[in-house]
């Protein structure tokens, strides 16, 4: 917010001359290729009470709005009321010609809503922009509804897809293909896909491994039983072999 500072000493505005403007601020902006640029705002207090001229600059260059008479950049004039509240305009557009190969022109809407003018030194309370540079996929998260969200290194996130679930009229009629894979059959009925959490479908739990439904105690008992059966059968075969061997020797 600009303060009620005296007018600039030098009437001819120049970014290289600090005496030609009252205060300035800048921020990083990005073109369509993700290249970073520095956009600066220069506030110049005019001789008229509560009126300021705002100049914009990108990487030291100016927008193409040039006064045909003076040949200099034309500023945007903003005014405040007697209570320091911004009147008009609350926003203005600015566009630049750049040589990065990105979409031309590089255009911005500068929003000044919330700017105030009081008897204090210049200060920036909030400065935001909605552009971002290029980013690489740094991670994935899966929501309870199956939505797969990609997180990028530039702080942005995008929905990459969604996991769907399928229900069947007769799940026991599915044909096992091995490897935890199943095939639809006439007995199971056709699949009924839908988003997780809808109808009778459950939700998706991210970063979790499904617990086994095997009863270890029961399986251990079954293994011991099978082992005893194998030992009994092996002993029976051994006995039969000995009897056959005795019969052969009797000849």
Q: What is the pLDDT of residues 55-68, one digit of tens each?
A: 888 888 777 655 55
Query: How much is the pLDDT for 148?
Result: 93
Give the chain's length: 251
Distance CA 42, CA 80 (A): 17
Distance CA 110, CA 80 (A): 17
Query: How much is the pLDDT for 162?
Result: 92
Q: pLDDT tens digit string along 149-162?
A: 999 988 889 999 99
**Would you place residue 88 in the very low, low, confident or very high pLDDT band (cuts 50, 70, 90)?**
confident
Distance CA 132, CA 111 (A): 18
pTM: 0.60
Which burial class, exposed, middle or buried, applies to 186 when counting CB atoms under 10 A from its CB (0-12, 13-18, 19+)? exposed
Query: How much is the pLDDT for 70?
Result: 57
> When comparing pLDDT for 3 and 34, which is higher?
34
């Amino acid at each position: 917010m600009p303060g009620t500072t005296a007018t600039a000493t030098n009437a001819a505005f120049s970014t290289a001359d600090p005496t030609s403007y009252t205060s300035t601020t800048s921020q990083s902006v990005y073109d369509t290729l993700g290249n970073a640029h520095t956009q600066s705002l220069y506030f110049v207090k005019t001789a008229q009470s509560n009126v300021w001229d705002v100049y914009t600059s990108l990487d030291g260059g100016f927008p193409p709005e040039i006064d045909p008479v003076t040949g200099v950049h034309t500023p945007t004039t903003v005014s405040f009321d007697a209570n320091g509240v911004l009147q008009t305009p609350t926003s203005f557009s600015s566009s630049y010609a750049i040589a990065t190969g990105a979409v031309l022109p590089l255009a911005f809407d500068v929003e000044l809503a919330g700017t105030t003018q009081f008897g204090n030194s210049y200060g920036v309370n909030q400065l935001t922009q909605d552009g971002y540079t290029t980013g690489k996929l740094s991670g994935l998260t899966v929501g309870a509804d199956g939505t797969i969200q990609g997180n990028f290194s530039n702080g942005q996130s995008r929905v990459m897809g969604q996991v769907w679930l399928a229900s069947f009229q007769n799940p026991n009629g599915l044909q096992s293909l091995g490897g935890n894979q199943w095939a639809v059959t006439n007995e199971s009925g056709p699949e009924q896909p839908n988003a997780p959490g809808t109808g009778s479908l459950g939700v998706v739990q991210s970063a979790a491994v499904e617990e086994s439904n095997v009863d270890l105690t029961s399986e251990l008992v079954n293994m011991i039983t099978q082992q005893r059966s194998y030992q009994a059968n092996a002993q029976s075969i051994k006995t039969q072999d000995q009897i056959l061997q005795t019969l052969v020797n009797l000849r």
